[in-house]
Amino acid sequence: MDIVWHGLGSFSITGKPVAAEVTLVTDPYDNAVGLRFPRTLSASVVAMSNQSEWTSNGEAVAGQGDRKTPFLVEHAGEYEVAGIAVRGIAGEKKDGTAHTIFRIMLEGIKIAYLGSIDRKLTNEEIEALGNIDILVLPVGGGAVLDAKTASSVVSQVEPRLIIPSHYDVKGVKEKFADVEVFCKEMACPREDQNKLKIKKSALPAEDMQLVVLARA
Question: What is the CATH classification number for the domain harbouring 32?
Answer: 3.60.15.10
The set of residues, in sequence order, having a beta carbon less than 8 Å from that of 96 and lying 6+ positions away, is none
Give the domain range for residue 136: 2-213
Q: If DSSP codes are grouped into helix, strand and coil, which group holds residue 129?
A: helix
Q: Which helix (H) or strand (E) holds 127?
A: helix 123-129
Mean pLDDT of the region 11-28: 93
Under the banding of pLDDT at 50, 70 and 90, the label for residue 103 is: very high
DSSP string, 190-205: EEEESSEE--GGGS-S
User: 3-state SS of the chain: helix, strand, coil percent to 5?
Assistant: 15, 35, 50
- DSSP annotation of 29: P
Q: How many structural domains are present in the chain?
A: 1
Under the banding of pLDDT at 50, 70 and 90, the label for residue 17 is: confident
Dihedral, 179, 181, 185, 190 alpha carbons, nearest 10? 40
Mean pLDDT of the region 187-211: 93
Task: Lay out the sheet containing 77-81: strands in order across.
Answer: 77-81, 84-92, 98-106, 109-113, 134-138, 161-165, 209-213, 190-193
Mean pLDDT of the region 66-71: 93
Predicted local distance difference test score (pLDDT) of residue 7: 96
Mean pLDDT of the region 71-96: 95
Q: Sign of the C-alpha dihedral, residues 209, 4, 114, 119?
A: positive
Q: What is the pLDDT of residues 136-175, one digit of tens each?
A: 999 999 999 999 999 999 999 999 999 999 999 999 999 9
